[in-house]
Chain A
Amino acid sequence: MNNLIKQKDILGFGALAVIIIVLPLFVESKYYFIVLNVIGLNTIVVVGLNLLIGFAGQISLGHAAFYGLGSYFSGILTVNYGFPLWPAMVVGMMATGAVAYLIGYPSLKLRGHYLVMATLGFGIIINILMGELEQFTGGHDGLMGIPPLAIGGWVFDNDLKNFYLIWSFVFLCMVAARNLLNSRVGRALRAISGSEVAANSLGVNTADYKVKIFVLSAMFASISGSLYAHYITFISPSSYDFHYSIQVVTMVIVGGMGSLWGSLLGAGVLTCISEALHIAKQYHIIAYGVFLCLVLVFLPEGVLMGITNFLVKNKDKAANYKNGLT
């Protein structure tokens, strides 16, 4: 069985790699590249957040803040202090991880949903600081002129190059998440999401694992935030408000809590919906809300698993019918 899952994964990741390499050949307009890149950036955040929601069973309403910390660390360090690009990104990731630890450690030691409250408060505070600490962040007008990333002399200065950069990171993050889930840590996490008491009694330090997975998921968001800052080259507080936290949570749920490929699907579908509604921006909130409610009420396991289960059940029914069982 285990072998089978791994084979399926190799197939899946192989297909993903091929699609990433080939897709740009069919994309002509700059606009579609931007959409694809935003999907990639969201996917990184969603994969990380899904580790937390799907496996640790905890809610974060502050992932916009971690995403924002990545962006602002990269932006401020490179623009204001002339930091080299990649180290700034690593510093941002480490600092975001440390902050997440400070938030996560006290709240995850408690039974119940304290993390949702802590991350909610933290997210709003960070968003306010982005607007008010003008001398560092540029205030509400934002921070401009963030340099694009570069490897050696090769600068990621157009949408195509950024497509390959961002989607390489998506690929790496998904492989990392899959490896993590197939390791000892992953088994412990699955045990926790199955039954926390049982996991505890078998010697799994549940609180410890939850904190670690929360820190990791914040770091994923930070990486994505840094990539965003260097890609768009301009950041402002409005990109990192409470609404973004809810958007990524919606993507996790639509894709399916605890489903890695679902994360990709959720990020893809909802980013496209956002874009399609760009002209009618006022329907944006309703669309997300309706989507979130419908999936939660009817397909709490997510669209991907929900449809699969539905098909499998029908297939079973059909098979049973053939065998004269029903």
Chain B
Amino acid sequence: MDFSQQIAQYIVTGLTIGAIYAIVAMGFNIIHNATGIVNFAQCEFISLGGMFMYSLVVLFKVNPMISFFISMAGVAIIGALIEIGPIRHARSKEIIVLIFLTIGLSEVLRGTAQEVWGTDNVGVPAFSGENPIHLLGGGTIVPQHIWVFAITVLVMLMLHYFFKKTLMGKAMRATSVNRRAAALVGISVNRIILFSFAFSGALGAVAGIIIAPISTTSYDTGIMLGLKGFAAAILGGYGNFAGAILGGVILGLLESLGAGLISSQYKDAIAFFVLLLVLFLKPAGIMGYGEAERV
């Protein structure tokens, strides 16, 4: 394989993982916009999505297509339960308390997942075979990569439609701009928050499901994917949807090219290094509106 082929391969890998980061970043953004908190349980949504898919497809031999939707719905329900239970009933509504609470919930979910599935990495069969497809430039691409792109694009289009055209989507955007004003015009903010949690649960699950055939899955795959998705959200501009996509893709490419051309040992550090750089140089992110407020 010559150099240009290698580069092409890195770019394909980078775009794939970048698509995953973008979906995860979306999940962080949706909850951030509704509540102002960082939802660390997002990481567990990814792991759970992957593990549900594994259980259904591999252990119970359910049709992959049906498994996909059941897993997604399952994690969405868990997301909703998190909101209905602890988040809504917390006696203090301070942001700092709620952020800590999502950390606690994340530990509970991860611990439970470890009990249920053990600590082994497990594989999920690819959606449509493993035979690589040859590209024009001479590189190859595994069909699952195409699935990841296609599903990501579909998810993004659906999100765009949802937020621009549907009443619920508009209500969610209104709430993110000003909660009190939204409540005044009759939007049930509690319902919006509940929906946000279910929604980002589903998004996390999708990310976990589509990456599982490529990189295998386990009870804690979500931590690194989730935290890097979080870095992508910051890079794009926290709370900004177009930013999430851009941030995810840039981060994925940087990581893949960095690992391939510079050093694979520090692969996991690249995303967090970028996160620190963004915070120090342009904390509002690439697509963020104006400057983050300085005090």
Q: State the A residues within 8 Å of B (CB).
A: 53, 57, 59, 103, 106-107, 109-114, 116-118, 120-122, 124-125, 128-129, 132, 200, 206-207, 242, 246, 249-250, 253, 257, 282-293, 296-301
Contacts and interface: CB of A to CB of B under 8 A. Distances in A.
Instruction: Give the size range of B's interface with the partner.
Output: 35 or more
A249 B100 contact: yes
B276 A249 contact: no
Contact of B107 (A118, A120, A200, A288): A288
Contacts, number: 139
B278 to A, nearest CB: 9
16 contacts: A103-B276, A106-B283, A114-B292, A116-B38, A121-B272, A200-B295, A206-B295, A246-B107, A286-B115, A289-B104, A289-B109, A289-B110, A289-B111, A292-B101, A296-B100, A297-B101
Interface string B59-78: 00000000000000000000
Interface in B75-129: 86, 89-92, 94-97, 99-101, 103-112, 114-115
A200 B295 CA distance: 10
B275 interface: yes
A297 B89 contact: yes
A295 to B, nearest CB: 8
Contact of A132 (B97, B99, B107, B266): B266
Nearest to A122: B276
B104 A292 contact: yes
Given A121-B279, A207-B295, A284-B111, 5 more contacts: A107-B283, A121-B271, A122-B272, A289-B105, A297-B91
A107 B281 CA distance: 10
A292 B104 CA distance: 5
Interface stretch (B181-189, B196-204, B226-234): B226-234
B103 A282 contact: no
A302 B105 CA distance: 17
B272 to A, nearest CB: 4
B104 A293 contact: yes
Given A297-B90, A298-B91, A109 B295 contact: yes
Contacts of B97: 296, 300
A242 B272 CA distance: 13
B192 interface: no
